[in-house]
Amino acid sequence: MGVMDILLIIIGFVLMLVGIAGSILPVIPGTPVSWLGLIVLHLAPSIPFDWTLIIITGIIAIGIYVLDYIIPSMGTKKFGGSKAGVWGTFIGLFVGIFSPIPAGIIVGPFAGALVGELLFNKTKGKQAVKAAFGSFIGFMTSTFIKLFATCIYLCIYCYLVFWVYWDVIIG
């Protein structure tokens, strides 16, 4: 195993971890980044390139990436929300991540959606709460799907490195 193998395996693993973080943080496209980690792994000279795996996981990554934009809007519309609620969800997520309160990553998106509906869309009372809840549900559903997919990609990565190609890598 050469230096290039080690370097590409490490870079692939880092991309897997960044992808998992990106499944929660809306700034990083989590599933495509994890998929890129699988590609980088297969670029290691000691590991044969598996086109079937890369194509199937790539189609899934693209599908999830597209759904990531559709699902939150569906949740918002289903509960009578607006674009202000969706934007509030994303802004609330950032505030929640960096706030010192426990469960800020969960409270932040809901509070952001509620503020977006109340202040920017001028939605009243119960309807604002309902719309904020819809934005929150859509966001959480999308986040769960991305987190699930990136964890599966990490499992595939670890399976390939430590089970399938381990003898090739250390040999």
pTM of the model: 0.82
pLDDT tens-digit readout, 128-154: 888 888 888 888 899 999 999 999 999
57 contacts: CB under 8 Å, gap ≥ 6? 35, 38, 153, 156
Query: Beta-carbon neighbour count of residue 117 at 10 Å?
Result: 28
Scan for tokens 């934005």, then name that residue: 135
C-alpha closest to that of 68 among 106, 18, 31 = 31
pLDDT tens-digit readout, 90-117: 888 888 888 887 778 778 888 888 898 8
Take residue 132 and report the two structure tokens written for it.
């904020």
